[in-house]
Chain A
Amino acid sequence: MRILLDNFSKSFGATKVIENMTFEVGHGEMLALLGPSGCGKSTTLFAICGIHRPTGGRILFGDRDVTDLPSQARNIGVVFQSYALYPHMTVAENIGFPLKVKGMATADIGKEVDRISGLVHIGNLLGRRPAELSGGQQQRVALARALVRKPDVLLLDEPLANLDAKLRLEMRSEIRRIQRETGITAILVTHDQVEAMSMCDRIAIMKEGEIVQIATPAEMYSDPRTAFVAGFLGNPPITFLRGVMANGAFVIPDSEIRVPLPASVSAPEGAKLMLGVRPEHFTPTGDISAPGNVTFAETQGRENLYDVQLNGGSLLRSIQPVRHDVNIGDAVTWAIDSKNALVFDDDGRRL
């Protein structure tokens, strides 16, 4: 079921958190609300599930206006960051709770619980209490509880934040698998760009209560609308060079680096610019050479990560297949891949 937020606004007292936000999540789509903490993504989620009431605008599930409906009447499933399992109930009771409050017969609840616990692979844990489960198992229980009553919408509030790295990887694909199998419309709130990119069909990047850009992960990575978006996506993150416009090229003053810009980039002569270079676009195979000294080297197993301080003082990051010939302090002459460099104006807008 599609979700539409139409001119949605939310403020707490005099504090305006979100103003006039509009976006749509298509049927069966999984959308990530990505942003740093305090950007209003959880507030948006809580408004969608009805815990917070919007101060302005409308929220539609399909064609149904749910703006003024309480949570109980919205038919949504939510996985909270802390999972919010009921400690005094067993796993089966936790999962069956949404059905129990609906007044479903015990036998039917049992059947549904069995079905959904099979889906999330916790069929063997039904008799335990939440305190006797590991973090990943609790996560699965929370997911099962959110899905058991076949909600129109699944909302996930930082569902992986409390898991260790390995479990996070596992649950990432699990959640995506379950979302695909059930075909449910889902919204994921996260501050982790890897989660957002790997799990979702589209990403909505938020900053200070506004959506900066909505796009597919690939689009957003290669075609960010602002420097903020470019900086938020990608791991290791992008690095920026500061320079000026000179004769249709990006030039760093007091340096021989000169990156010709495509004709589509229009900026007045001498305007301050930022050039975003992703680590994979600063390698020995680029076309604009930028000599410097290695100030940081880190091996990640398959790849090595280097920070290179250019002769002008700017910093570029490089990621390359593992090699053993470069150490900290070495002088290197690697090159920027100018076709993939991203140009931003001084305010961070993409040019």
Chain B
Amino acid sequence: MSIINNFRRNRIKNSFSQFDRVLTFSVAALLLIGTLLVYAATKSWFASQGLDPQYYLKRHIVNIFIGVILAYGTTLIDYRLLRAYTPIVWGLAVLGLVAVLIPHVGSTVNGARAWISFPGGFQIQPAELAKIAIIVGISMVLAEKNDANANPTDIDVLKALAISAVPMLLILAQPDLGTVAIISAAILAIIATSGAPTRWVVGLLLVAIIGGFGAVKTGVVSDYQIKRLQSFVDPSADPQQSGYQLRQSRITIGSGGLVGKGLFSGPQTNGRFVPEQQTDFIFTVAGEELGFLGSGLILALFMLFFLRAFMIVRRTNDLFGRLVGIGVIAWFAFQAFENIGMTMGLVPMTGVPLPFLSYGGSSMFANLIGLGLLQNIHLRS
């Protein structure tokens, strides 16, 4: 009994001290900056409306708190044992994704039916859960080899694709192309890393490109997405909606200059010229108020995070851990690129939040679970 207790205590003690400190530091710094930015994005606007200026700040801190607990929880169980839970997580995600499509259950924000509303104003975005389910799920399938040096076969790849196809089609139906793109990037990275035949990587890349074009051409993509795409190419095409957002977003970032207007003092931000600023356009707050130095710091922190995460992935000898790790990295990296690139007019507009910075519960929880997974792999490599 005492031995077991001792073992547990040791393990917990060890896990705290043995976390990758650089990874923890970079995420902590991003969370801190994100908290300030969410506050800056909402403070003066809410105050001018006679509302609680700290409304979003408080909720954001609660989200982080819950997220940190989830992340810590994720590190407790050996990730290799996590496979056991994968079918449950996958099942919950698919259920949630089906639920959002049911009228009166799912709520539509910005053209995408992506949220399930609960009484008390809480909303859950099942797609965030689906990201984890798919990454862990296909990693499991592709790593399930007795011989450590054997590469996945075509059958394994097909299985992995089958697992991801169901939630992805459901997300496509919302429609949330941005998330589909992120998951696709993660799947590609995992398959490439798994040692599966190269033709799969090349083939899937082609499918993604052709599928993207086809979706626009055949009308699978909804009007609002085509408008967003058009206004990316020509911001005057839809000047009232997405064109407006893109222009305002770019102006807000550009006007920050080298050192920015100072935290809480950005006139574009305080005037609320950029819509959705505490969520998808959080980076514009950094751009205007913290300038190139501040927003460059955010990019630097992301780079530090990825550098460290790749180190963890390379160190582990376990293929499953490596695949999960590479999947999480690809997810964060592609999502950060999509989000920041959108605010700067580099990629078309999509509705994805910026990992660790944007306001939003589901996304924050998923991101921190992702961090937990990386730490877990680190602890056990």
A binds B: no
Give chain B's interface residues, CB within 8 Å of chain A: none
Give chain A's interface residues, CB within 8 Å of chain B: none
